[in-house]
Structure formats: structure tokens, C-alpha cells
Amino acid sequence: MREEVGLGSAVDQVVERVEVRAAETAEVRAPHTQRVNRVVEPGGCPPHGGRLIDRRLRGAALESARQEAATLPALVIDQDQVVTLEMIATGVLSPLEGFMGEDNYRSVLHEKRLASGLPWTIPMTLAPAGELNRAVTARLGRGDRVALADQSGHRWAVLTVTEKFTYDRDERAVQVFATDERRHPGVDYIHRRMGDTCLAGPIDLLERPDWGPFEKYRLEPVDTRRVFFEERGWRTVVGFQTANPLHRGHEYLQKCALEIIDGLFIHPIVETTRKAYFRNEYRIEAYKAALDNYYPADRVVLAPLRVTMTYAGPREAILHAIVRKNFGCTHFIVGRDHAGFGGYYDKYAAWRIFDEYDQAELGIQPLFFRDSFYCTRCGTVATEKTCPHGEEYHLTMSGTGVQDILRYGYLPPKEILRPEVGQVIIQGIQPKGTDADGAGDIAGSATAPAAATGVAGITGAAGGTGGSNSTTDANGSVSTVSTGDGQAIKPVADTIKGLFPYYLTHHRLGGKRRRRRLDPAELTMRDLEAALAEGRERAGEVYQEVFEAVAGLFDIARAADRGGRIAALREALRRQKELITALEEKVRVAQEEVPDPFMFQDRPEAQRELDSAREIAREIAGLAERDPDFKARVWNPMPYEEYRR
């Protein structure tokens, strides 16, 4: 069942809650498989496959395996594979107990299911690369045990080989990533970091990797299930995955979900994503800053997750949902282009793939949210489903846009990013807004008022009329060529379009349309600074102006009226009347005809000036000369006590 959520629909839609109790039995039928009975664990959904896997050795078994591992041949694995070992051993990837055999591999590749029919979308295989690994692999047979070690020689696990098989790299790439282009990081990994032969079999984890600064936040599936259901008493939990700091769009959709679900599990990815723009320690502290100030403490759990991202788009969205199911989540938030990369997937492909599975067999409810923005006319965060206003009123919630403007050295408007979050995360953004040679400094002002026409031109901006030009390398990667302004990170047009969509088409936020749409190629740092300044200053003003106009007309009791606006209007009316008196005298003495109309005014022209001044006075009077007690608005002055009888 697809469930798409917006601010209105989050409250108004009927959402099927997951009500489970001890000893209840859930029946799940996967296509082409027999009926399987599963005992649902008390509080929350069962792990994928019905049992939470634990492949960590302890006690005497651990000591024996360590001694054995020291004598076994070893395969050298990379950091991503160490992470996968840990995920298997701690139940994150339940029901997998090790690396897939060929039947499961081919079924996942072509059917998006394990051979048993259980939903699964990403092949979990071990194909160690390199000459030494190839030699070790060649000597291994069914039943052999082999140690799995990192490049330092540290032995993390033992694999019991059940099977060896080869695979086609291009077939795997096209099936999993829908492309064979090496520019895609997942495809590149297949060709550059995987060997020719896959080894299958269960693993035994000898040691759980230490997470360093994140160790104190670590929660494994067995831990979260205890926290969610035993300690907190939740029945439903929604999982949220992120690799970015929490902006206001994230906050909006999380709180929409909390209106209908008991608890929120914020599960940021750390360490093993592609080269991080945000240093992980800063991201965790930024999450804490948001939670401490804007979330109810008893409704939220925060824990990092080490996971190998492959950027498989829709397939990875399913895997991430399964992972959260194993942690105990009953719901999972799926954003637009989840786990996407470089436009390889349709932006809603990660939603449509959930239609390929029956809700019961997947066992977790996806929640779909459209792109959010701050609408200055609505005065709130919204989506296209809940806001009727055009882009001229919008500040866009874009993770990429936030990332870029932070790298330029500016905090976005508070309507996009909470200042407490911005304080922390701007210190951890990489790279900073300087040239590659360090020649430039981050400077300029984003607090000066933006110009109302054309290119902004804020005084003191470091960018001047300079900027940066983008180039594309042989692999299709976009880079920038600095012009020496100290802020050449990427073309500023991308950032402006990503956060301030009004700027290209309108003079101001919520203002008049430009006669000609600005050419993105001509935008400079001055434009970015102008758009930012306008966003900071006008975001709260647009709706306030609407409110003040209505309140000024319809407040019946006037004690709360600040009085300044009416006083100014009355003073303007007084001045206008004085001007009218002067113009009346001018009309009285003017000649009907003059010898030189370019040097002198005749009476008809003077009369037109007078008529215009009188019309303006009538307009001012309509606003200024009103009954100060608003008696016309009080149509039923009956005492409240009598009204109730």
C-alpha cells in the first residue's frame, strides 16, 4: 500500500497502525512460495525472515575461533566489506547469515527476491579482488574455512565456504544500478574493487569494530527493539535515514509522521558513504542540537548506522526499509530519489518499487513525502500537495542547496535551517569556500538589502562580477574552474535555483515578476548574496504583512493596535490636503492657453494634477478616516451572559 504524506494528509488520512501483541501469528505469502507461519515478537514487527540473526561469537567459542583463525589462510577485504560483516553478524541484514550463494544471487538480481521468495534487492556477495586473494580463493573448496582480514592483517571473521561461483560484471551493474557507466560509483566498485569469483557461506564474527567517537551512540537491532518496545512502550516506530544535517524540510516530514506514529528513529549514516561533505562528528552534534531544542525527548531515538551505500536508487530503498524493519521500525520514510545518484533514476522510482511487493510480505509501511519548501505566503513549511502558491513565495528545502551555501560560508535563512544546527554544521562542512590554491577569502555581506532589479550588486561582496565556470572530465564528473574570487565551488546558479527559486523570475520574494528571466549563466556571487539577504529578511515579512493588513481593518478592540500605521496615514492625509490647497490655487490663476507649453502649464494640465492629488487623498482617507471604535462591526452588543441563555 502506498501512503503519501503531507501536512494536511498526515493528520487527515487514515493510517493503518501496526497493532501486534505477544503470541499473535502473522501469515505472509510470497509469490511462488509456500505459506510461512511466523510468530510475531511482542511489540513491533518481526525481523525480516522471522528471526533476528546473531553471528557474533562469545566465550569459549570465540577463543577457539580466534586460535583457529590465526592458522587459517586469509582473504584481504576492504573497509566496506568489514562493515557488511558487522551488519550480517548483528542482525542488520537478517535473515542473511553470511554471503549469498549463486541461487540467491541470481534470484535477487532478476526477481528482487531471495530464492525462498522473501523480498531482497541488493546482492550481498564476497568477491575479493587482487592477486593474493585470487590465489587463496582458487585453493578453497566446499567446507573450507578462511579468515577475513583487513589490509593491516587484523582478522575480523571466519567464513565457512559453501559455494564458489563466477558472475558477469555488466549484468550485475545493469540489473542493480540500471546502467553500466563507470561514472556511477556502484558500477565503478564492481569493476575496480571486486574480484572474479564469489565465495558464499555463513560467517562468524570474531570482533565487533569499534566506532570511535560514535561508539557511545551505537544501537544494534536487539538494542533498539528493547528501547522502542520495552523501555518506551511504543507500538509503532518510523525510521528516518539521512546523510545530511536536519533541515526544516526533514523536521517537517518527521513531525508529520509523529502525529500518527508513536516514535521516531533518526538513523544517520556515518563513515562509509561517498566522500563526506559534512564531517560525521559535526553531523551527530548537529542532530543533537536539533533534537535538544525542537523535538520531544520521549518520542525520538537517535543512533548512527555504518552501512555501505551503493547508490542503487529504488533497489536500495527497499533494502533500507528492510534494514529498519530489522531494527524494529514499523514505518519508513522514503524521500524523493532515495539513494539516487547523478540523475540515473527517475525521481519517484524509489516510490514505485514498493508497488512490486505485497505489504504483508515486506512487513514495513513506507511513508512517501514530496519535496518540501518554506512558503512565505502560507507562513509554514509545505509541499505542492498542501500549498497553492507559486515559486515566487518559496524557499526550497534542498539538501544539496544547504550543503552548497554552507560551503560558500553562509548560513541559510532560519526558515531553511535551524540556527542551532547551522552553528555546528558550518564548522564541519568540507571543502570550505576557498580556491584550491587558498588564494581567496570568504568575505562579503549577506545582511545588506538586496537590490530590486537585475543582478543584485551588494556592496562589499567578494565575488564581484566574477564566478566560476564548470567543466566535465572524461568520467563525466563536474568540476569548477576558479576565477580567483575565493568562492569558486560550483556555479552559483545551482545554489540559487536550489534554495531561492523566485530569484530568476521575480524581483523580490513574493514580489513582481521580472520582465525577463535571468540567465543562470550570468549569475555571480552578488546574486547569491542578494538572494540570501532577501530570503533572510523577507521570509517572515510576507505573511506578517498579510496579517497586519487584515488585523488593521478588522480588530474590533483597538488596545492591541500599535497605532503607528493609522497615525502615519492621518499625517499623510493632512499633507495631501495641504498639497491640494496649493494646487487649487494654481488652477485658479493658470491661463487657459499658454504660448509655450514646454515652459508654462496651462489650466487643463494643472487641473489634471489637482484631480490626481484629490484621488490619492480619497484613497488615503479610505484607510485613515475610520470610526476608531469600529462601531459598524459590532452588530450584536448583547452581554455574553444574556447571549448564553
pLDDT of residue 456: 36
| pLDDT score recorded for residue 484 | 40
What's the rounded mean pLDDT across residues 71-79? 96
Percentage of the chain modeled with pLDDT above 90: 63
- Detail the DSSP E strand segments found in 328-475: 331-334, 365-368, 372-375, 380-383, 394-396, 468-472
Check if the beta carbon of residue 426 is closer than 8 Å to that of residue 473.
Answer: no
Residue at which a domain ends, from 315, 346, 370: 370
What are 606-634's pLDDT values in tens digits? 999 999 999 999 988 887 765 555 666 66
Q: For position 452, what pLDDT does the model report?
A: 35
- C-alpha cell at position 580: 491640494
Helix (H, G, I), strand (E, B) or coil at 66: helix
Q: Which stretch of DSSP H or E encloses residue 567?
A: helix 564-589
pTM: 0.79
Q: What angle do CA 508, 511, 514 make, to 5 degrees?
A: 75
What cell numbers appear for 216 in the block? 557511545
Mean pLDDT on 173-186: 96
Residue 248 domain-assigned?
Answer: yes
Q: Answer whether the bond into residue 95 is a cis peptide, omega within 30°.
A: yes
What CATH number corresponds to the domain at position 199? 3.10.400.10
Q: How confident is the model at residue 446 (pLDDT cuts 50, 70, 90)?
A: very low
Picking from 147, 175, 205, the residue at the C-terminal end of a domain is: 205
How many domains, the chain? 4
Residues 437 and 322 in one domain: no
Pairing between β-strand 365-368 and β-strand 263-268 as defined by DSSP bridges: unpaired
CA–CA dist 145, 70 (Å, integer): 12
Q: What residue has cell string 516510490?
A: 351
CATH code assigned at 352: 3.40.50.620
Nearest CA to 421 among 411, 434, 436? 411
Single-letter residue type at 128: P
Residue 483 pLDDT > 60, yes or no?
no
CB atoms within 10 A of CB 60: 8
CA angle (338, 167, 113) in 5-degree steps: 45
* Predicted local distance difference test score (pLDDT) of residue 243: 85
Distance CA 644, CA 611 (A): 53
Residues 256 and 394 in one domain: no
Least confident residue range of 92-101, 294-303, 596-605: 596-605
- In the chain, what is the greatest distance between 2 CA atoms, to the nearest angstrom? 117
Does residue 88 sit in the same domain as residue 186? Answer: yes
Phi, psi of 9 (to 5 degrees): -70, -25
Residue 195 belongs to a domain: yes
* Beta-strand pair 394-396/380-383: unpaired
Is 50 a domain residue? no
CA pseudo-torsion sign 623, 624, 626, 630? positive
Do 490 and 559 share a domain, yes or no?
no
Are 293 and 190 within one domain? no
Alpha helices in 42-195 (DSSP H): 59-71, 79-89, 102-111, 131-139, 169-177, 185-193
Read off the pLDDT of each residue in 37-47 and give the average, rounded to a whole number: 54
Shared-domain flag, residues 538 and 501:
yes
- 575 and 532, same domain (yes or no): no
Residues 384 and 523 in one domain: yes
The closest of 333, 325, 320 to 260, measured between CA atoms, is 333
Q: Is residue 43 part of a domain?
A: no
Bridge partners of residue 74, in order along the sequence: 147
Examine the fold and report which residue of 205, 227, 260 is the final residue of a domain before the chain moves on.
Answer: 205
Pair type for strands 197-205 and 98-99 = antiparallel
Helix axes 169-177, 185-193, angle to 10 degrees: 160
pLDDT above 50 for 283: yes
Residues in the chain: 645
Over 80: is that where the pLDDT of 511 sits?
Answer: yes
**Is residue 318 domain-resident?**
yes
Examine residue 638 and state whether it is found in any structural domain, yes or no: no
More reliable by pLDDT, 254 or 21? 254
* 639 assigned to some structural domain: no
Other CB atoms within a 10 A radius of the CB of residue 317 amount to: 27
346/443 same-domain check: no
Of the candidates 560, 556, 559, which has an alpha carbon nearest to the alpha carbon of residue 632?
A: 556
Mean pLDDT of the chain: 83
Least confident of 283-287, 559-563, 603-607: 559-563
Mean pLDDT over 531-544 rounds to 93
Residue with cell 590465526: 70
pLDDT of 444 reads 43
Domain-located, residue 54: no
Same domain for 115 and 235, yes or no, is: no
**Residue 587: domain span:** 555-633
What is the reported pLDDT for 635? 64
At a CB cut-off of 8 Å and minimum separation 6, what does 351 contact?
A: 2, 4, 334, 366, 368
From CA 335, how far away is CA 337, in angstroms rounded?
Answer: 6
- In a shared domain, residues 200 and 267: no
d(CA 465, CA 524): 6
Query: Are 322 and 443 found together in one domain?
Result: no
